[in-house]
Structure 1
Amino acid sequence: MADRRLFQQIADWDSLRAGFGWSIPRRMNIAHLCCDSWAMADPDKVAVIHLQGDGTRDVWSYGRLKAASDGLAVALAARGVGRGDRVAVLLPQHPAALVTHLAAMKLGAIGLPLFTLFGEDALRYRLGDAGACAIVTDGATLDRVMALEPDLPRLRVIVSTGPARAPVLGFDDLAATPGSGFRPVETEAEDPAVMIYTSGTTGDPKGVLHAHRFLYGHLSCLELAYGGFPQAGDVGWTPADWAWIGGLMDMALPCLFYGVPLVAHRFAKFDPEAGYELMRRERVSAAFIPPTALRLMRQVAPPEGLRLRAVGSGGEALGADLLDWGQARLGCPINEFYGQTEANLVLAACTGPMPRRPGAMGLPVPGHDVSLRDATGEVGTGAVGEVCVRAPDPVMMLRYWNKPEATAKKIVDGWLYTGDLATRDASGQITFHARDDDVITSAGYRIGPVEIEQALARHPDVVMAAVVGEPDPLRTEIVVAHVVLRDGAEWSGMEAALKEIVRSRVSAHCVPRKIIRADSLPMTATGKILRRALRRGG
Structure 2
Amino acid sequence: MRSDRRTLGPGDWPSVRAGFRWNIPQQFNIAAACADDWARVTPDAPAIIDIGGDGLRRVWTYAELKDASDRLASAFRAWGVVKGDRVAVLLSQSPEVMVAHFAAMKLGAVVLPLFTLFGEDALAFRLSDSGAKVAVTDDANLDKLLGVAAGLDTLETVVNVGHRGRGIPRLDDILAEAAPLPAPEPTLADDPAMLIYTSGTTGDPKGALHAHRFLIGHLPSVEMHLERFPADGDVSWTPADWAWIGGLMDLAMPTLYFGRPLVSHRMRKFDPDAAFRLIRDECVSTLFLPPTALKLMRQTDVPGGLKIRAIGSGGESLSVDLLDWGQDKLGAPINELYGQTECNLVVSSCAGLGVLRPGTMGQAVPGHHVAILDAEGREVPPGTVGEIAVRRPDPVMFLGYWNQPEKTAAKFTGDWLRTGDLGQADEDGYLTYVSRDDDVITSAGYRIGPTEIENCLTGDPDVVMAAAVGLPDPVRTEIVAAFVVLRAGAARDGLEERLVARVRERVSPHVAPRRVVVVESLPMTATGKIMRRALRERAD
TM-score (norm 2): 0.98
Contact 1:363 1:430 in 2 (8 A): yes
1:160-309 to 2 correspondences below 5 Å: 160-180=160-180, 182-309=182-309
1 CA distance for matches of 2:446 and 2:176? 36
Query: CA shift at 1:224, angstroms?
Result: 1.2
Residue aligning to 2:121: 121
Moved more, 524-533 or 74-83: 524-533
Are positions 1:84 and 2:84 aligned together?
Answer: yes
Secondary structure of 1:140's counterpart equals helix
Amino acid corresponding to residue 260 of structure 2 in structure 1: V
Instruction: Please state how far the C-alpha of 1:176 moved relative to its aligned partner.
Output: 3.1
CA deviation profile, 1:271-305 (whole Å, cap 9, x unmatched):
00000000000000000000000000000111100
Secondary structure of 1:420's counterpart equals: strand
Matched-pair contact (CA < 8 Å) for 1:74–1:177: no
**Which residue of structure 2 aligns with residue 360 of structure 1?**
360
Higher mean alpha-carbon deviation, 316-325 vs 355-364, is at: 355-364
Partner of residue 159, structure 1:
159
Alignment RMSD (CA, Å): 1.1
> Structure 1 CA distance, aligned partners of 2:349 and 2:438?
24
SS in 1 for 2:228: coil
What is the alpha-carbon distance in structure 1 between the residues aligned to residue 454 and residue 406 of structure 2? 23
Cα displacement string for residues 166-205 of structure 1 (whole angstroms, at most 9, x for unaligned residues): 4421011123344346100000000000111111122100
Q: Over residues 12-62 of structure 1, what are the superposed CA-to-partner deviations in whole Å (9 max), with x where a residue is unaligned?
A: 2x3322210100101010000000000011211110000012211111001
The normalised TM-score by structure 1 is 0.98
Distance 2:317 2:15 in 1: 25
Match of 1:405 in 2: 406
Letter in 2 for 1:224: M
Classify the secondary structure of the residue corresponding to 1:196.
strand
Moved more, 195-204 or 235-244: 195-204
**1:437-480, Cα deviation, whole Å (9 max, x unpaired):** 41111000000000000111111111100001111111111111
Q: 2:500 corresponds to which residue?
A: 499
User: How far is 1:165 from its partner?
Assistant: 2.7
Percent of aligned positions with the same letter in both sequences?
58
Q: Is the 8 A contact 1:31 1:105 kept in 2?
A: yes
CA contact (8 A) 2:139 2:164 kept: no
1:333 aligns with 2:350: no
Change (3 A) 1:357 1:179: same
Partner of 1:422: 423
Residues 1:455 and 2:456 aligned together: yes
1:9–1:228 Cα contact (<8 Å) kept: no
Equivalent residues of 1:158, 1:167 under 8 A apart: no
Q: Secondary structure at the match of 2:356?
A: coil
CA deviations on 1:210-260 (whole Å, 9 max, x unpaired) are: 000000001001111111110111000000000000110011111110011
Secondary structure in structure 1 of the residue aligned to 2:312: strand
Checking the alignment, whether the CA contact within 8 Å between 1:113 and 1:243 is kept in structure 2 is: yes
2:535 is aligned with 1:534: yes
Instruction: Evaluate the alpha carbon distance shift between residue 492 and residue 395 of structure 1 in structure 2; reply closer, same or farther with a 3 A threshold.
Output: same
> What residue is the counterpart of 2:46 in the other structure?
46
C-alpha distance in 1, partners of 2:201/2:139?
Answer: 32
Tell me the SS of whatever aligns to 1:396: coil
Q: CA distance change for structure 1 residues 311 and 494 in 2, over 3 Å: closer, same or farther?
A: same
SS at match of 1:24: coil
Q: How far apart are the structure 2 equivalents of 1:217 and 1:2?
A: 17
Aligned AA (1:248): L
SS at match of 1:21: coil
Task: Quote the Cα distance in structure 2 between the aligned partners of 1:147 and 1:85.
Answer: 22
Q: What corresponds to 2:7 in structure 1?
A: 6
Distance in 2 between the 1:419 and 1:532 partners? 16
Equivalent position SS for 1:509: helix
What are the Cα deviations for residues 408-447 of structure 1, in whole angstroms up to 9, with x where unaligned?
0112311110000111112221111121241111000000
Aligned position for 1:320: 320
Q: Retained in 2: the 8 A contact 1:419–1:437?
A: no
> Could you tell me which residue of structure 2 aligns to residue 99 of structure 1?
99
Superposition pairs for residues 361-400 of structure 1, below 5 Å? Answer: 361-374=361-374, 375=376, 377-400=378-401
Distance 2:159 2:127 in 1: 15
Paired position in structure 2 for 1:20: 20
Secondary structure of 1:463's aligned partner: strand
1:517 aligns with 2:518: yes
- For the residue of structure 2 that corresponds to 1:441, the secondary structure is strand
The alpha-carbon deviation at position 376 of structure 1 amounts to 5.0
On the 8 A contact 1:201/1:437 being kept in 2, the answer is: no
Q: Which amino acid in the other structure matches residue 285 of structure 1?
A: S
The separation in 1 between residues aligned to 2:383 and 2:182, in whole angstroms, is: 57
- Count the aligned residue pairs: 537
Q: Is 1:471 aligned with 2:472?
A: yes
Q: Deviations over 1:104-153 (max 9, x none)?
A: 00000001000000001000000000000000001111101111122111
- Do the aligned partners of residues 257 and 107 (structure 1) sit closer, same or farther apart at CA in structure 2, a change above 3 Å counting? same
Moved over 6 A (4+): none
